[in-house]
Amino acid sequence: MSSKVPPIILNNGVEMPQLGFGVWQVPDDEAERAVATALEAGYRSIDTAAIYGNEEGTGKAIAASGIARDELFVTTKLWNSDQGYDSTLRAFDASLAKLGLEFVDLYLIHWPLPAQGKAVDTYKAFEKIYSDGRARAIGVSNFLPEHLRLLTEETSVIPAVNQIELHPHLQQHEAREYHAEQGIATEAWSPLGQGKGLLEVPAIVAIAQKHGRTPAQVVLRWHLQIGNVVIPKSVTPSRIAENIDVFGFSLDTEDMAAISALNEDRRLGPDPATFNA
C-alpha cells in the first residue's frame, strides 16, 4: 500500500492507514465530492457507515478516482436495527452493493447495544463474512471492555479494531490499555472533538503556535504519537488537506504531556453502556 500515510498492522496482518477520512453527517452527494477531494489530497482510508446514508456517494467517488482497489482501505458499519445473524448478512450485502465493492477492508458493529443481547450472533455473521473473504478485517465500535470480554469469550476472531470516541477531553485510558493487551487497534472517532471548543483550548493553541501548525494538526499529531488510528472529518478542501498534512513535524514530550493533562472524561456522544437506539 503506497501512501503518504504510514500504516499500522492489524492483528491479522492487514495494513490499515493510521489516518483516514470520516464522512459522518455528510449527505450522499456532498460525500461524493468530499471523498473525491480527500482521495486527491492523498487519503486512502475512508470511514463510512450504513446509517450515514452516504455509502453510494462514497462508492461513486472511489470508482471515479481510478485508484487501485488494493491501495484503498474502506470501512463501513452495521447499523443497530440490523443486528442478528441473518439480518447482518443481508445488511452487509446491501452495504457492499451501495459501495459498489466486492469486499470491504473493515466491517464494524456500530454499537454494542448490551440491552438487546445480539452482539454475539451479529459477530458470528461477521466471522462468516470474514471467512468468505468479503471483509479483510472485522471489528467493533463503541464497545466497552466488558462488551469486548463477552464477545471474545463466545466467538473466535479477536476484533481487529475498536472504534471509540476519543480526543484530548476523553482520553479513554482504560479502553486503550485493554485494547493493547488484547491486540485490538484503537481507532478514535471525533478525534478533533467535533471541532468545537477543543481547538480553542489555550494549551493546544500555544503548541500550534510553537510549531507553526494549526490546533487541528496538533491534536491529530497527539493521536498518532500515542498510536491511535484517526479519521477526521471535513467537507472543506483546505481543511481536508490540512488534516492529512501531519507527517512533517512531531510533538515533543512537553507538548504531549500538556495535551495529556487535558483529559476530562467528557463524552460528546452517547454512553455505550446505555445507548439503545
Closest approach of Cβ 23 to ligand NAD, in Å? 5
Q: Which of 122, 142, 172, 228 binds ligand NAD (CB under 6 A)?
A: 142
Q: Which of 1, 8, 67, 199 binds ligand NAD (CB under 6 A)?
A: 199
Give the number of residues in contact with ligand NAD, rule: CB under 6 A: 26
CA nearest 35: which of 19, 50, 46?
46
Residue 130 is a catalytic residue: no
For 147-210, the three-class secondary structure string (H helix, E strand, C coil) is HHHHHHHHCCCCCCEEEEECECCECCHHHHHHHHHHCCEEEEECCCHHHCHHHHCHHHHHHHHH
Does residue number 179 form part of the binding site for ligand NAD (CB under 6 A)? no
Burial of 254 (0-12, 13-18, 19+ CB in 10 A): exposed
- Which string of x and - marks every residue 5-44 that binds ligand NAD (by CB under 6 A)? -----------------xxx--------------------
Decide if 231 contacts 253 (C-beta within 8 A): no
Q: Which of 152, 239, 256, 267 binds ligand NAD (CB under 6 A)?
A: 239
Q: Which of 44, 176, 213, 233 binds ligand NAD (CB under 6 A)?
A: 233
Does residue number 216 form part of the binding site for ligand NAD (CB under 6 A)? yes
Closest approach of Cβ 53 to ligand NAD, in Å? 13
Rounded Cα gap, residues 115 and 129, in angstroms = 25
| E strand or H helix that includes residue 254 | helix 253-260
CA distances from 219 to 44, 141, 173, 205, 270 (A): 20, 21, 17, 10, 22
Closest approach of Cβ 127 to ligand NAD, in Å? 20
CB-CB neighbours of 209 under 10 Å: 12
Closest approach of Cβ 214 to ligand NAD, in Å? 6
Closest approach of Cβ 22 to ligand NAD, in Å? 3
User: If you compute the radius of gyration of the chain from its CA atoms, what whole number of angstroms results?
Assistant: 18
Does residue number 185 form part of the binding site for ligand NAD (CB under 6 A)? no
Give the interface with ligand NAD as residue ranges (CB under 6 A).
22-24, 47, 110, 141-142, 163, 189-195, 199, 214, 216, 231-234, 239, 242-243, 269
Q: What is the set of active-site residues?
A: 52
